[in-house]
Amino acid sequence: MAEDPEDPSRQATGVSRRGFIATVGTGAVAAATVAKVGAQAGSATLPDGAEMVRVALDVNGRTHRLLVEPRWSLLYVLRERLGLTGTKLGCERGECGVCTVLVDDKPQYSCMMLAVEAEGRRITTVEGLMQGEELGPVQQAFVEEDAFQCGYCTPGQVMAVEGLLRATPEPTTEQIREGVSGNLCRCGAYAHIFKAAERASAMRKGGTA
């Protein structure tokens, strides 16, 4: 279809609507192409892994050597790089305790620790408490005392109790309360968690609760 020389938009600017749209479209494609080429050129100047660092992490008695970004949390590396998903993702700001692991036998929020900070430390996750295919004493005590409902906080609760018992094999009720005070249970199973800690203490020393 021929352009109308009497088109008011053409008389006012010297460019028809169709010509204007075509010009803008061509410019947009050109700009996008230049931006893409520039980005590719920029990335091509950076060698692979330039922003990564090598770490060796001792997790559950095994050494894992891998490349990580300095900003990655221990939680992220455990779950996304090592596949240890028993450690759960919660608030990511050190408030809920669901991501608790042991670092040198002490409970630690893995969301608040960088993976690079964990190098040279001994890390234990909930998977590391298993004895082959058998549950560890704390895990078994949680089952026997029905110390969970939805179960999402349970791995962190188990690790908090495990850390407590490694430091204090026969804790008092108050010590148990304090030991798990950094781990939230939205289901409110605290009474059962306290009983599970007591039973686990007895099981670890070969007795019965």
Q: What is the CATH number of domain 49-98+110-120?
A: 3.10.20.30
The residue to which tokens 């993702």 are assigned: 89
- Residue 26 in this model has a pLDDT that exceeds 60: no
40 pLDDT band, cuts 50/70/90, is: very low
* Whole-number Cα distances in Å, 115 to 57, 64, 65, 74, 127: 8, 12, 12, 4, 18
pLDDT at 155: 98
Name the token pair of 173.
Answer: 């009720």
Q: How far apart are CA 109 and CA 2, in angstroms?
A: 71
Q: What is the DSSP letter of 68?
A: E
* Least confident among 5-19, 46-60, 182-196: 5-19
- Residue 143 in this model has a pLDDT that exceeds 50: yes
Domain boundaries, the chain: 49-98+110-120, 130-209
pLDDT at 179: 97
Average pLDDT of span 127-138: 95
29 pLDDT band, cuts 50/70/90, is: very low
pLDDT tens digits along 78-92: 999 999 999 999 999
Q: What is the CATH number of domain 130-209?
A: 1.10.150.120
Q: What is the mean pLDDT of the chain?
A: 84
